Chain A
Amino acid sequence: MSDKEKFEVDGNGEPMSYSNGMPPDWRFGGGGHGGNLVNSSLGLVSIGNSMNIDREDLIGSSSCSSASMVDSFSPNFWDHSANSQNLGFCDINGSSSNTIGIRKDGFGFGRGGHDHGTLEVGWNQANSMMMKGDGFLQNVQGVFPQSLSQFPTDSGFIERAARFSCFGGGNFGDVVNSYGIPQSMAMYAGTIHGARDGHAGIGLKVGIGGQSQERDDPKVVEGTKGVSLSVEQLATRGSPLKNDKSESRAVSQDDGRKALVRNVNDSDRGESGDDDVRGDGQEGSPMLEGTTSGEPSIKGLNSKKRKRSGQDPDNDKADGARELQSEGAKDNAENQQKGDQTKDSGKNAKQGSQTSDPPKEEYIHVRARRGQATNSHSLAERVRREKISERMKFLQELVPGCSKVTGKAVMLDEIINYVQSLQRQVEFLSMKLATVNPRLDFNIEGLLAKDILHQRPGPSSALGFPLEMSMNFPPLHPSQPGMIQSVMANMTNPSDILRRTIHPQLTPLTGGFKEPSQMPDVWEDELHNVVHMSFATTAPSTSQDVDGTAAANQMKVEL
Chain B
Amino acid sequence: MRNLSSLKKEFLRKWIKGLRKYNSQKKNMNLLERKKAIKLSADLAMASTKDKTTLWRKALFANTSTKIDDEQDMSTTSSTPQKKVIRKNSTNSYPLRKRITGRRKILRRNHTKERVEASFIAMRLVKKRTRKLKSLLPGGKFMDDSCLVDETLDYIESLKAQVEVMRCLVTSSELFINQP
Residue numbers of A with Cβ under 8 A of B are 1, 3-4, 6-7, 334, 337-338, 373, 375, 384, 387-388, 391-392, 394-395, 397-399, 407-409, 412-413, 415-416, 418-420, 422-423, 425-427, 429-444, 446-448, 450-451, 454-456, 485-486, 488-489, 491-493, 495-496, 499, 509, 512-513, 516-517, 545
Contacts and interface: CB of A to CB of B under 8 A. Distances in A.
B164 A492 contact: yes
Given A491-B172, A513-B174, A486 B9 contact: yes
Nearest to B40: A430
B31 A395 contact: no
* A-B interface, 5 closest residue pairs, ranked by CB to CB distance from nearest: A492-B168, A489-B9, A434-B34, A412-B129, A391-B149
B9 A485 contact: yes
Interface of B is mostly: helix
26 contacts: A1-B54, A6-B144, A337-B146, A375-B117, A384-B145, A398-B153, A399-B156, A412-B133, A419-B155, A427-B39, A429-B163, A430-B38, A434-B38, A442-B16, A450-B172, A485-B9, A485-B13, A486-B9, A488-B168, A489-B12, A492-B8, A493-B5, A496-B8, A496-B164, A509-B171, A513-B175
Given A388-B146, A415-B152, 5 more contacts: A1-B54, A412-B133, A431-B31, A433-B34, A489-B165
B84 to A, nearest CB: 27
A375 B119 contact: yes
Interface string B148-180: 011011011101101111111111111111010
Contacts of B1: 397
Interface stretch (B17-25, B68-76, B92-100, B101-109): B17-25
Size bracket, chain B contacts? 35 or more
Contacts of A426: 39, 42, 159, 162-163, 166
B136 A419 contact: yes
A4 B147 contact: yes
Contact of A442 (B123, B144, B152, B173): B173
Contacts of B170: 429, 432-433, 436, 509
B70 to A, nearest CB: 18
Contacts of A439: 23
Contact of A434 (B13, B23, B31, B179): B31
B39 A1 contact: no
B122 interface: yes
Nearest to A515: B171
Contacts of B39: 426-427, 430
Contacts of A455: 175
A412 B177 CA distance: 41
B132 to A, nearest CB: 5
B59 interface: no
A372 to B, nearest CB: 12
B53 interface: yes
Given A4-B55, A375-B119, A422-B163, A447 B173 contact: yes
A496 B179 contact: no
B167 A495 contact: yes
Nearest to B164: A496
B125 interface: yes
